[in-house]
Structure 1
Amino acid sequence: MNVPYPSFVHQPLLIPEYPNDDLVQGDDLAFGPAFWLAHLLLTMGDPDDAPQDYGVTAAAYDSMVERLSDAALPWPVFQIPFGGGHTILVIYASYEDENNVEFIVRHSDWGRLGYLGNIGPSHSGPGLSWQELTTIAAYSPDCDTEPGLSDPAQRLLLLLPMLGDAATPSEVTEVVTHALIQCGISEESAPGFADKLVGREEDQQNTWSAGPDNPIPVCSSRRSARQVPIALGITAEAARALADALTGAAR
Structure 2
Amino acid sequence: MPLRGHLNDFRPPVDPSVLVDATPWLDDALLWPAFLLSVGGSHTAAVAFDLDPADVEVYAEEMHRHDRWPVISLDLARGHRLHILFRNFEDDAGWDYLLQPAGSDEVITAAALEGGFHGPAFSWPELVRTSGHPDLKHSQAERLLLLLPAMGDSEIPPGANQVVASALAAVGAQRRQDEVAGELLGASHRFWGPSAWTEQTGLPACLNQHSPRHLDAPTDRLALLAEAFGG
> Which TM-score band applies after superposition, normalised by the shorter structure?
0.7 to 0.9
Q: Deviations over 1:120-158 (max 9, x none)?
A: 1332222210121111100113x4xxxxx4211111001
Give the 3 Å change call, closer, same or farther, for CA 229–28 of structure 1 in structure 2: farther
What's 2:12 paired with? none
Partners of 2:158 and 2:19 in 1: how far apart?
38
Question: Match for 2:179 among 192, 195, 199?
Answer: 192
Give the TM-score of the pair, scaled to structure 2.
0.81
SS of the aligned residue for 1:116 comes to strand
Instruction: Work out whether residues 165 and 204 of structure 1, in 8 Å CA contact, stay in contact via their aligned partners in 2.
Output: no
**In the alignment, which residue of structure 2 is the partner of 1:27?**
23
> Does the C-alpha gap of structure 1 residues 110 and 72 become closer, same or farther in structure 2, counting only changes over 3 Å?
closer
Q: CA deviation at 1:119?
A: 1.1
**CA–CA distance in structure 2, aligned partners of residues 198 and 151 of structure 1:** 20
**What percentage of residue pairs aligned between the two structures are identical?**
23
1:164: which partner in 2?
A: 152
- The number of equivalent residue pairs is 221
CA distance in structure 2 between the partners assigned to 1:89 and 1:164 by the alignment: 18
Instruction: Provide the secondary structure at the position in 1 that maps to 2:38.
Output: helix
Partners of 1:56 and 1:229 in 2: CA distance: 45
SS in 1 for 2:86: strand
Matched, 1:81 2:75: yes
Alpha-carbon spacing, 1:137–1:161, altered in 2? closer, same or farther (3 Å): same
Instruction: Give the conservation status (yes or no) of the 8 Å contact 1:32–1:184.
Output: no
**Relative to 1, partners in 2 of residues 1:228 and 1:38: Cα closer, same or farther, differing over 3 Å?**
farther
Are the aligned partners of 1:98 and 1:121 in contact in 2 as well (CA < 8 Å)? yes
Q: CA RMSD in A?
A: 2.9
The unaligned stretches of length 5 or more in structure 2 are 9-14
Q: Is the 8 A contact 2:23 2:72 kept in 1?
A: yes
How many Å apart are 1:54 and its aligned residue? 4.1
1:201–1:243 Cα change, 3 Å = closer
- Secondary structure of the corresponding residue to residue 184 of structure 1: coil
CA gap of 1:107–1:201, structure 2 versus 1, over 3 A, is: closer
**Unaligned segments of structure 1, at least 5 residues:** 1-12, 144-148
Q: Which residue of 1 aligns with 2:97?
A: 103
Would you say the 8 A contact 1:76–1:91 is kept in 2?
yes
Instruction: Say which of 45, 51, 60 aligns to 1:56.
Output: 51
